C-alpha cells in the first residue's frame, strides 16, 4: 500500500473515531488540541492563504490627512501669519479663524503636505497634530 493511501486511510479512521465521540469528549479533545498546538479553535481560518495580504490592506496607511491646530502657543502673531498664508485669508480673518482651538487648519492633504504644514505651524510656536481623514 502506498504512503498516500495509508495516510488517507488513517485520516478516515481518525474522522470516524472523532464522529463517535460524545459532546463532552469532543469538547475535551478540542481543548487538548488547543493547548498542545497553541491555537484558538474559535478563531476563523481564512481559505486561500491570503490572510496576511488582507490584514495588510486593512491596516494600510491612510492617504488623506488633516492638520489640527491644538494650541496657538506663545507667538500668536507668527501662527496667524502661517494660517493667513496657507488659507489665503486677510490678517483679521486669520486671527478670527484660529480664535478657538482645536481647529482644523486644512484637510484632504497627502502625508507630505500635512507634515510640511505641521512643521511651519510648529516653527511658528503652535502645537499641531496630523490626523487621518
Confidence of residue 48 (pLDDT cuts 50, 70, 90): low
More confident residue, 9 or 64: 64
Confidence of residue 41 (pLDDT cuts 50, 70, 90): confident
Residue pair 128/86 in contact (Cβ under 8 Å)? The answer is no
Taking the CB of residue 46, how many other CB atoms lie within 10 A of it? 11
Which residue, 69, 61, 64, is CA-closest to 117?
A: 69
> pTM of the entire structure?
0.55
For 65-132, CATH number out of 3.30.413.10, 3.40.50.300, 3.60.21.10, 3.30.1390.10 equals: 3.30.1390.10
Average pLDDT over residues 75-100: 92
DSSP 85-109: HHHT--HHHHHHHTSSSSEEEEEEE
Domain with CATH 3.30.1390.10 in the chain: 65-132
Amino acid at each position: 500500500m502506498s504512503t498516500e493511501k495509508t495516510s488517507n486511510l488513517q485520516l478516515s479512521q481518525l474522522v470516524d473515531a472523532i464522529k463517535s465521540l460524545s459532546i463532552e469528549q469532543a469538547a475535551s479533545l478540542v481543548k487538548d488540541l488547543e493547548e498542545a498546538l497553541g491555537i484558538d479553535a474559535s478563531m476563523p481560518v481564512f481559505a486561500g492563504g491570503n490572510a496576511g495580504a488582507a490584514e495588510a490592506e486593512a491596516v494600510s496607511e491612510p492617504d488623506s490627512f488633516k492638520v489640527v491646530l491644538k494650541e496657538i502657543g506663545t507667538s500668536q502673531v507668527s501662527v496667524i501669519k502661517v494660517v493667513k498664508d496657507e488659507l489665503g485669508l486677510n490678517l483679521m480673518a486669520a486671527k478670527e479663524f484660529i480664535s478657538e482651538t482645536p481647529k482644523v487648519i486644512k484637510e484632504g492633504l497627502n502625508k507630505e503636505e500635512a507634515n510640511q504644514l505641521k512643521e511651519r505651524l510648529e516653527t511658528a510656536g503652535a502645537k499641531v497634530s496630523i490626523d487621518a481623514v
